[in-house]
């Protein structure tokens, strides 16, 4: 992580695209579907755009005006010739100016929604294309915010984006989390940098009666998974007087929510010792440390070990990372989800509950549900599907883009 004392100062007036600068034009191929763009689809793939010498010469993150094959204007886009998603729609108005005021307006619109949804400023503030800022994720943690600039334009114009964020929200701490697969697909390097302010340690976050500790500079993603908030709440309702197992627990996700819901005990399993330490600290702050245990290890191996030990739980939750991050990994990913269900099901007491989650956008709900059901059956159990959950409303879905609705959570009651 970059030393905050040497972080670059953000300019007081940074415009990504100064007015008066003529923009290049990029054009769809004759057989490309212009109707999809007109109807709200936000991406143009490399095989849909005319990639000539001028287009190849555009710097990643440049702005351009998109036309259809008949030279009719469609939108203002950002272009990255090195990416499979070669153009992302910034504005339906081809004459729009993407400057600090434009960025601030998008952030203000996103903030107005979250302020209506939640009592405090702890939420996903910007959910990329669904909030009109392609490839940009911003999570807010009170007086701090973490930006994930996962598209080339956001990386190039990060200073202006951070300035607009501060102007709209008043946060004093801004972290850049430049890590993850999405950035590599854009040709961007990995980097975590404190852009503004200072952090004295993990940030406490209250959700569903539980206390989580979010490490904004060293944790996974932005430090906390806000998307599971409603699924934590549902699980907590099942957890009263229950023995709970939370696998792939991160900083205590379902386990701490279950303890807040009245669980008699909770065991959190994860491969990260720092994450489990934060989970334990959260339990201590909640006053439930005596009912909370952690176990570090590979999730599959730990599930097998618990079965060998004869362990039994009233509620088991498995929330793994994305096993199918793209279509090429779909078959292997579905087999992994099936294996999780097969190993977890025997650990559930008769009449108990099993929660299975997927954050793989390539595995749609039907495919994930079928894989889970197969795994439960192979684990020797019969099941009722009680509830299907999704990400919270601070992770809105763009109807035209399935990738924005990536999270699925299935809750089963097991018999036999």
Contact present, 135 and 142 (Cβ < 8 Å): no
Chain CA centroid to CA 364, Å: 16
312, 318, 357, 359: the catalytic one is 359
Question: Is 359 known to be catalytic?
Answer: yes
Alpha-carbon distance of 146 to 208, in angstroms, equals 22
107: CB partners within 8 A, 6+ apart: 125, 126, 133, 138, 164, 165, 168, 169
DSSP 344: H
Alpha-carbon distance of 395 to 345, in angstroms, equals 30
Contact present, 149 and 80 (Cβ < 8 Å): no
Helix, strand, coil abundance in the chain, percent, nearest 5 = 35, 30, 35
32: CB partners within 8 A, 6+ apart: 44, 48, 49, 68, 69
Q: How far is CA 372 from CA 5, 323, 358, in A?
A: 49, 13, 10
Q: How far is CA 61 from CA 106, 115, 136, 381, in A?
A: 18, 31, 13, 51
Alpha-carbon distance of 235 to 316, in angstroms, equals 10
108: CB partners within 8 A, 6+ apart: 168
Residue that is written with structure tokens 């039994």 in the block: 312
Alpha-carbon distance of 64 to 344, in angstroms, equals 50
Contact present, 156 and 60 (Cβ < 8 Å): yes
Residue 274 burial (C-beta neighbours within 10 Å; 0-12, 13-18, 19+) = middle
> Residue 314: what are its φ and ψ, rounded to 5°?
-85, -25
Q: Which residues are catalytic?
A: 359
């Amino acid at each position: 992580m970059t030393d905050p004392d040497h972080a670059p100062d953000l300019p007081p007036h940074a415009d990504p695209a100064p007015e008066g600068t003529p923009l290049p034009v990029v054009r769809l191929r004759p057989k490309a579907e212009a109707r999809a763009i007109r109807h709200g689809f936000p991406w143009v793939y490399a095989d849909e755009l005319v990639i000539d010498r001028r287009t190849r010469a555009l710097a990643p993150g440049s702005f351009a005006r998109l036309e259809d094959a008949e030279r009719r204007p469609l939108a203002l886009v950002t272009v990255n010739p090195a990416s499979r998603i070669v153009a992302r729609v910034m504005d339906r108005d081809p004459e729009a100016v993407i400057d600090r005021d434009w960025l601030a307006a998008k952030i203000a619109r996103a903030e107005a929604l979250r302020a209506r949804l939640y009592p405090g400023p702890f939420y996903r503030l910007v959910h990329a294309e669904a909030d009109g800022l392609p490839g940009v994720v911003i999570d807010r943690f009170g007086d701090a915010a973490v930006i994930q600039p996962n598209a080339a334009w956001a990386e190039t114009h990060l200073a202006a984006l951070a300035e607009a964020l501060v102007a709209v929200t008043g946060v004093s701490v801004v972290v850049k989390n430049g890590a993850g697969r999405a950035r590599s697909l854009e040709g961007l390097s990995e980097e975590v940098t404190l852009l503004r302010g200072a952090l004295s340690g993990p940030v406490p976050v209250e959700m569903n009666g539980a206390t989580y500790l979010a490490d904004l500079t060293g944790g996974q993603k932005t430090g906390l998974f806000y998307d599971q908030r409603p699924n934590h709440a549902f699980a907590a309702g099942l957890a009263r007087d229950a023995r709970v197992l939370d696998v792939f627990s991160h900083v205590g996700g379902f386990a701490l929510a279950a303890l807040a819901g009245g669980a008699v005990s909770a065991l959190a399993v994860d491969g990260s010792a720092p994450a489990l330490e934060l989970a334990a600290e959260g339990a201590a702050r909640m006053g439930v440390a005596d009912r909370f245990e952690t176990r570090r290890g590979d999730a599959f191996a730990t599930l097998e070990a618990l079965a060998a030990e004869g362990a039994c739980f009233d509620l088991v939750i498995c929330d793994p990372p994305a096993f199918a991050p793209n279509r090429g990994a779909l078959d292997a990913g579905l087999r992994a989800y099936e294996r999780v269900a097969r190993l977890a099901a025997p650990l559930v007491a008769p009449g108990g509950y099993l929660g299975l989650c997927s954050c793989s956008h390539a595995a749609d709900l039907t495919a994930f549900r079928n894989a889970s059901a197969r795994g439960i059956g192979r684990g020797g159990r019969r099941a009722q599907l009680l509830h299907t959950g999704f990400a919270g409303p601070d992770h809105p879905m763009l109807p035209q883009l399935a990738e924005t609705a990536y999270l699925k959570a299935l809750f089963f009651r097991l018999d036999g």
